Amino acid sequence: MGTEIYYFSGTGNSLYITLELQKRIPETELIPIVGLLDMDAVKTSAETVGIIFPIHLAMAPPIVIEFLKKMDLKSAKYIFAVATREGSQHRAFADFKKVLGKKGKDLNSYFTLNMASNDPKFKNWHPAAAEELADIESEIQNNLEYIQDIILNKDESHEKDTHFTVDMPLFPIFSLFLPVLNKFYNVEFYANSKCTGCGTCKKVCLSGKIKMVNGKPVWQKNVDSFFCHACLNYCPEQAVQIKSNLFLKSYTEENDRYSHPYATADDIAGQKNNLKYFQSTWE
């Protein structure tokens, strides 16, 4: 009956947290959310269920919320969630509690971890330097010890988020409009002349939006993107870019890229496969 952790990760931050918690919580099975999206219902037999994901536009990724709605959690006696982010405030856990409440369940504990940014479309963005990554890792390990103890003891933990780095005084009001903004949020990707046709972008694309045509990637308009930025950050030539548009000036042509130091393109792509893949590559 043990613990099941369901997870989604685009550039490795959430995957790293998932694997670190598996080390700390006995009898934990890891299950990638992406591999279950085609199912009409997902039934768990675990007593403890966790969900780990990144924050997108101050919310949980829409696919994570839709997945949560599909879950049969009758066996679950303890449910926790961990969100990774650069530092923005978010409403993910309030949305989780709303979905779980309709199932007669509650979110027993939840945690937000600040990690390096994987979003190079903004001016003056830069990937975290080695010293910054070391500081982040030290803080993460301290937080994981705290999280581990709460989960193992099945304690309730509903702490107010005081660790955000982007102060938004009007966030409670602004958050009311986030579902609409997320629904219409759209950025377009393309590959510039540096593209060698290696297919890495297609391999790491968790939504299946990318296909290769004549040796070059095409982002299919009839397939929704998960906006995980895996294609952008794992391209070995940094050829994948985000187009500027009326509402967004993109600087990806000028900026470098970020992926978690311990997460390879194969690790991200493996979410489309099975659990054994991760256990073998991360051991």
**Closest listed residue to residue 73, CA positions, set 35, 41, 98, 95:** 41
**Closest listed residue to residue 19, CA positions, set 256, 273, 268, 272:** 268
pLDDT at 278: 47
Total domains, the chain: 2
Band of pLDDT at residue 170, cut at 50, 70 and 90: low
Whether residue 283 is predicted with pLDDT greater than 70 in this model: the reply is: no
209 in any annotated domain: yes
pLDDT at 233: 98
Write down which residue in 167, 196, 230 finishes a domain.
Answer: 167
14 in any annotated domain: yes
Q: Tell me the per-residue pLDDT of 145-164, one tens digit each, with 9 for 90 and over.
A: 999 999 999 999 998 888 88
Give me the CATH number covering residue 196: 3.30.70.20
173 in any annotated domain: no
Task: Based on the fold, state whether residues 18 and 103 are members of the same structural domain.
Answer: yes
Q: What is the maximum alpha-carbon separation in the chain?
A: 55
Task: Based on the fold, state whether residues 98 and 156 are members of the same structural domain.
Answer: yes
pLDDT at 186: 78
pLDDT at 282: 47
Task: Based on the fold, state whether residues 150 and 207 are members of the same structural domain.
Answer: no
Residue numbers of the domain that contains 232? 184-267
Task: Based on the fold, state whether residues 9 and 120 are members of the same structural domain.
Answer: yes
Whether residue 240 is predicted with pLDDT greater than 80 in this model: the reply is: yes
Amino acid 214 reads N
Give me the CATH number covering residue 81: 3.40.50.360
Summarize the confidence of residues 13-18 as an average pLDDT: 98
Which residues, in sequence order, are CB contacts of 103 under 8 Å at separation 6+? Answer: 71, 73
Summarize the confidence of residues 33-62 as an average pLDDT: 94
Summarize the confidence of residues 9-13 as an average pLDDT: 97
Q: Helix, strand, or coil here: 212? A: strand
Whether residue 165 is predicted with pLDDT greater than 70 in this model: the reply is: yes
Q: Tell me the per-residue pLDDT of 65-122, one tens digit each, with 9 for 90 and over.
A: 999 999 999 999 999 999 999 998 999 999 999 999 999 999 999 999 999 999 999 9
pLDDT at 276: 41
pLDDT at 280: 40
Task: Based on the fold, state whether residues 25 and 153 are members of the same structural domain.
Answer: yes
Q: Tell me the per-residue pLDDT of 48-70, one tens digit each, with 9 for 90 and over.
A: 999 999 999 889 999 999 999 99
Average pLDDT, the chain: 92
Band of pLDDT at residue 277, cut at 50, 70 and 90: very low
Task: Based on the fold, state whether residues 155 and 189 are members of the same structural domain.
Answer: no
Task: Based on the fold, state whether residues 207 and 143 are members of the same structural domain.
Answer: no
Task: Based on the fold, state whether residues 68 and 30 are members of the same structural domain.
Answer: yes
Summarize the confidence of residues 190-202 as an average pLDDT: 98
pLDDT at 115: 97
More confidently predicted of 171 and 47: 47
| Lookup: tokens for 11 | 């550039």
Could you tell me where the beta strands, DSSP code E, fall in the chain? 3-7, 28-32, 42-43, 48-54, 71-72, 78-85, 109-114, 189-191, 210-213, 216-219, 240-242
282 in any annotated domain: no
25 in any annotated domain: yes
pLDDT at 279: 46
Band of pLDDT at residue 183, cut at 50, 70 and 90: low
Task: Based on the fold, state whether residues 157 and 213 are members of the same structural domain.
Answer: no
Task: Based on the fold, state whether residues 114 and 233 are members of the same structural domain.
Answer: no
Whether residue 169 is predicted with pLDDT greater than 90 in this model: the reply is: no
